[in-house]
Structure 1
Amino acid sequence: MAPSRAGPTAEELDQRKIVGINPETVTDTTNTDFPGHYPGEDHSWDLERFRNGFQIEFHHNDPFDASFSLIGVDASIANAFRRILIADIPTLAIESVFITDNTSVIQDEVLAHRLGLIPFKGNQDGLKNFLRFWKKPEPGVEPTLYDFNTVMLSLNVECTHNPKASEDEEDPTKLYNHAHVYAKDIQFHPVGRQKKYFSGEGAIAPVHPDILIAKMRPGQAIELTMHMHKGVGSDHAKFSPVATASYRLMPTITITQPILGKDAEKFAKCFPKGVIGLEKVSRKEAAQKGSGYEGHEGELKAVVKDPMRDTVSRECLRHAEFQGKVRLGRRRDHFIFSIESTGQWNSDDLFLESVVKLKEKCAKLEKQVINMAR
């Protein structure tokens, strides 16, 4: 048993959360063998302690883009959310393409690949609760297609001359009909109960109707049908619900000695706009002994305004006048998440769904551990 010792000071507790950023090195990059546990200290799990230290703060929340801070968890938990967002949340995508006619310059397999990567949207209740996963049959076995596991689409376009175009027209989109084939040309054909879930504004359609699929000229045509199925990103990237799902550690900037006047202006330029602010030294600060501001009332001083904007470029550490006056770092338990949805899910719903998926994985693991212990 490890010897007990006096509890850590507040300064020690704060320093444990910081990854040091130096001019040429990065320090304290690894956590303890068991994250959050230190020899001689009692760090047994306590729900109330975790609840008091855990926070989620949203910075902006748009349907296609969300940014929020996940505070008070280990990197393994944050990374689990990131991996689930990329690989384990189901979406709908084109899986099978049956080409009847393709006389465009794009090869069949390239055309099918382009179609598969187009993100689609539809009624959320139908996508989440009505549609189920489709199982690929064994070789030689006819696939079983139902309204709850397969969505039918078609693309039937032919390029022709536009009789209304002027003789000197050079724009192919005006000179020809269907010179450009877009995602909006894809037609959805509801089958069975799909009419109940996917109709009106909730019909299945491309998220971005102006995605260019092909360019054609008179005499060329594309005629095909498509089957859409539910899948997850671990099977293929086209099923991933996010364009990006990433996180970074919260930067920390600590000014240890006053930075004044021209140096303060230069210091602010070492960081992205909005990270460092310039304020005037107050009379109270100038009168306080040992503050470093004595006799500098009214002069500009550098203050940390918004460290979240910082990119940790270390530019300030390259200037001699700032040596010993600033300390850079990153908080190891503060993760700034960025989620960009492809459109089938709202960005904030994606994170909530990742929490549900992680809970399911934990329940499965718990069951397996119990079975192993028997």
Structure 2
Amino acid sequence: MAPLLPSQEELDRRKVVGFGLEKITNASNSEYPDFFPGETGFAWSVESFKKNFRVQIHELNPDESTFSLIGLDASIANAFRRILIAEIPTLAIENVFINNNTSIIQDEVLASRLGLIPLKGNKEGLRWMKWFKEAKDGEPGSTLTDYNTVVLHLDVQCTWQEKGKELFMKGETDSNKLYHNSNVYPSQFTQQPIGRQADFFSGENAVQPVNPDILIAKLRPGQVITLTMHANKGKGGDHAKFSPVATATYRLMPKIDITQPIIGDDAKKFARCFPRGVIKLEPVTVGEAKRKGSGYEGQEGNLKAVVADPMKDTVSRECLRHKEFVDKVKLGRIRDHFIFKIESTGQFDSDELFLESVRLLKAKCMKMKRSLGEMTSHV
């Protein structure tokens, strides 16, 4: 008996996770051998992966990117997300040495705020830097060198402006008119390049805050903040301040099938059940009105509901709450179509971050391959 070969339409149907009013259907993954008796062609292969895998770019700029990965398993998509959040190394302030702090902010709170400020610098320099290991459990740590530590300074003192006291006596409350350095910002950081750091971190490429206008503290005349900061290389898995992304998320591509015509006032109501732009209203054409069995007979010129951009949908299932739409629409998500959104904190461009996650996943696979080879060589 010849093996059964499912049609492409049937294969596409199996990829859709169905969303009903109170339940989800077809949630289990059926794409592995022998799930459907007698059928072949489900075994994974590099050739089929290359044929089916696609990347679609929706939005691309240094701070934020949105793109689709099509033809992937959820485990691979989630591996990229976890690597983006926790395993791409970046630079952040790790140790703060406070010489003088007479502001109202406690030393430990000030140090914590400084550590959470995203830094940027020469990308090649960031890759050139080595890991810094702190001494723990009696084991010696790394020695401070130009290879593993960037030194930053902050020295700010608040003073009266020339006519500040006079304006204050007249009731002026604007601190910018009364004081010098009433607000402390990351733009006041200064870097002290050490050794070979001058080759990478100088001029525009110096290590500096991504956003120079983050408010760190407020000062008043006589108050001073003088401190030294050591920035080291780290990963988001160790502390969130090292994570290079503000968010790294993915969701499955929504699928909306209008199975029966929705016309007139029902079409307007149907469009309001979805986020703006998902459903659009179009007039019924002459050809549709004349074609028998189209459902649009005699409706020429009336508005009909048409799916315009399903990617904007959140699959809220609002339309299924209305009885007139229950049998006219099918909602779902495509299980192998992942819509990624990456927001960079500034050290790397958002598209570079994804490419870096691919490189790291490849390195993990190569390491696993070598380990398996060593295991089998001893059998």
TM-score (norm 2): 0.94
Aligned to 2:94: 95
1:201 and 2:204 matched: yes
User: What are structure 1's unaligned runs of at least 5 residues?
Assistant: none
C-alpha separation in 2, matches of 1:38 and 1:114: 57
Aligned residues: 371
Task: Pick the aligned partner of 1:17 from 15, 18, 21.
Answer: 15
Q: Percent identity?
A: 59
C-alpha separation in 2, matches of 1:37 and 1:121: 50
8 Å contact 2:185–2:216 — kept in the other structure? yes
Aligned to 2:302: 299
1:126 and 2:125 matched: yes
C-alpha separation in 2, matches of 1:297 and 1:223: 76
Q: Does the residue aligned with 2:340 lie in a helix, a strand or coil?
A: strand
1:257 and 2:256 matched: no
8 Å contact 2:154–2:228 — kept in the other structure? yes
Greater mean deviation of Cα atoms: 31-40 or 295-304: 31-40
How far residue 43 of structure 1 moved from its aligned partner, in angstroms, is 2.1
How far residue 36 of structure 1 moved from its aligned partner, in angstroms, is 10
Aligned to 1:111: 110
Q: Does the residue aligned with 1:212 lie in a helix, a strand or coil?
A: coil
8 Å contact 2:32–2:42 — kept in the other structure? no
8 Å contact 1:35–1:74 — kept in the other structure? no
Q: How does 1:1-374 map to 2 (within 5 A)?
A: 5-32=3-30, 34=32, 38-40=36-38, 41-128=40-127, 130-138=128-136, 139=138, 141=140, 143-165=142-164, 166-167=167-168, 168=170, 169-374=172-377
C-alpha separation in 1, matches of 2:191 and 2:302: 67
- 1:140–1:280 distance in 2 versus 1, CA, 3 Å: closer
Q: Can you list the C-alpha shifts for 1:282-316, whole angstroms capped at 9, x where unaligned?
A: 11112221111111111111100000011111111
Amino acid at match of 1:217: R
- 1:143–1:88 distance in 2 versus 1, CA, 3 Å: closer
How far residue 278 of structure 1 moved from its aligned partner, in angstroms, is 0.8
C-alpha separation in 2, matches of 1:236 and 1:230: 11
C-alpha separation in 1, matches of 2:143 and 2:37: 59
C-alpha separation in 1, matches of 2:353 and 2:253: 22
C-alpha separation in 2, matches of 1:35 and 1:170: 74
User: What are structure 2's unaligned runs of at least 5 residues?
Assistant: none
How far residue 107 of structure 1 moved from its aligned partner, in angstroms, is 1.1
8 Å contact 2:64–2:342 — kept in the other structure? yes
Q: Can you list the C-alpha shifts for 1:161-196, whole angstroms capped at 9, x where unaligned?
A: 222333432112321222111111111111111111
C-alpha separation in 2, matches of 1:119 and 1:42: 49
TM-score (norm 1): 0.95
C-alpha separation in 1, matches of 2:229 and 2:143: 15
C-alpha separation in 1, matches of 2:190 and 2:26: 56
Q: Does the residue aligned with 1:233 lie in a helix, a strand or coil?
A: coil
Q: Can you list the C-alpha shifts for 1:123-179, whole angstroms capped at 9, x where unaligned?
A: 122112x21211223448575111121100011111222223334321123212221
RMSD value, Cα: 1.8
- 1:4–1:22 distance in 2 versus 1, CA, 3 Å: farther
C-alpha separation in 1, matches of 2:274 and 2:61: 27
How far residue 325 of structure 1 moved from its aligned partner, in angstroms, is 0.3
C-alpha separation in 2, matches of 1:360 and 1:35: 28
How far residue 217 of structure 1 moved from its aligned partner, in angstroms, is 1.5
C-alpha separation in 2, matches of 1:37 and 1:88: 35
